[in-house]
Amino acid sequence: MAYIGREPQVGNFQVCDAISVVNGQAAYTMQVGGVNVSPETANHMLVSLNGVLQAPGSSYTVSGSTITFASNLVTGDVINFIHILGSVLDLGVPSDATVTSAKIVDDAITLAKMAPGTDGNLITYDASGNPVAVATGSSGQVLTSAGAGAVPSFQSPAGGGKVGQVIVATATASVGSVTSVGSYADFSSAPTIAITPSATNSKVLIEFSGIFSAGGSSNGCDVAITDSSNNVIIATGMYGSRRHGLTLWTLHSANTSSEITYKVRGKVNSSGGHNLYLDSGTSDPLRTTFFKATEILA
């Protein structure tokens, strides 16, 4: 392979010329074939003095072509050999996709070597087994599994049927009557409930109780709870002229986070001047009209 500039030397092992010890001298010039040579470092040499291998750095140092022993040599000391191991070959930057897992020591990757991310992110694996970051959630959210092969996510904790809010309305005075035939109409002063669900998947528990009476024994009447668009949420029929204690309740799937107004409405099923009365009275607590809406969280 051709190189631009100096070609790296690998395994250029050289044995220095014999060196005669000078009494009281520590530094000596290294040559090979009468030419000065300069090892890369003291660690790239094998040096034997009096038959003992010397420790680089502590027993000797190197500067250029000069080796200096830790202490002056004396007459009788013998430098057996100086073996230069060759030049350092810089491996450079590995090619893309060439460093395998086997080349990395276990537990060698520190947090400082990992790519930066966002505080609060977690690492998981996608369906292909590749690492991916789980997007940071909001305060109070919980990490929710999406099952095997899907990335989990932070979500608001389930309400678990907890009560979000309660709205109550009552009436203790006369709330009027209706004479509408065949279609629902409002009682003039009946209590209403306005509630704004906190989420579209909340449900609203509607509870109503009141005393009704019809103006004729053969007059069939209907009572209903309706929403803001006058859709019937729950309804029931009643007959006869005597008073009826009526209780209605239902769990309404509102499917909205906008305000809903619930009302009690009535109708008569035949003409003839008959009325449907919703009675309340301060003198009798049992005649109190009671209306309640409770948000049930999903």
Q: Which CATH class is domain 163-296?
A: mainly beta
CA distance 222 to 237: 4
Q: Which of the given ranges, 131-140, 185-194, 236-245, has the highest pLDDT on average?
A: 185-194
Residues 106-131 pLDDT 10s: 888 888 888 887 887 888 888 888 88
- Mean pLDDT, to the nearest integer, of 191-206? 93
Lowest mean pLDDT among 33-37, 149-153, 183-187, 226-230: 149-153
- The 10 Å CB-count burial string (b at 16+, else e) for 159-193 is beeeebeebebebeebbbbbeeeeebbbbeebbeb
127: left (phi over 0), alpha (psi -120 to 50) or beta: alpha
The DSSP bridge partners found for residue 132 are 124
Lowest mean pLDDT among 49-58, 141-150, 205-214: 141-150
Question: Which residues neighbour 77 within 8 Å (Cβ) at sequence distance 6 or greater?
Answer: 21, 49, 50
Q: Which of the given ranges, 132-136, 154-158, 205-209, has the highest pLDDT on average?
A: 205-209
Q: Write down the pLDDT at residue 260.
A: 96
In the predicted structure, residue 88 carries a pLDDT above the cut 60: no
Q: Write down the pLDDT at residue 56.
A: 95
Question: Which residues neighbour 68 within 8 Å (Cβ) at sequence distance 6 or greater?
Answer: 26, 27, 28, 60, 61, 62
Q: Write down the pLDDT at residue 111.
A: 82
| Domain segments of the chain as ranges | 14-84, 163-296
Residues 21-80 pLDDT 10s: 999 999 999 999 999 999 989 999 999 999 999 999 999 999 999 999 999 999 999 999
More confident residue, 157 or 37: 37
In the predicted structure, residue 227 carries a pLDDT above the cut 90: yes
More confident residue, 66 or 88: 66
More confident residue, 273 or 193: 193
CA distance 277 to 279: 6
More confident residue, 111 or 224: 224
Average pLDDT score, the chain: 85
pLDDT grade for 242, boundaries at 50, 70 and 90: low
pLDDT grade for 250, boundaries at 50, 70 and 90: very high
SS3 letters across 254-278: CCCCCCEEEEEEEEECCCCCCCEEE
Q: Write down the pLDDT at residue 2.
A: 60
Residues 258-297 pLDDT 10s: 999 999 999 888 766 578 888 755 555 567 889 999 999 8
The model's pTM is: 0.48
Lowest mean pLDDT among 22-31, 39-48, 83-92, 171-180: 83-92
Q: Write down the pLDDT at residue 175.
A: 82
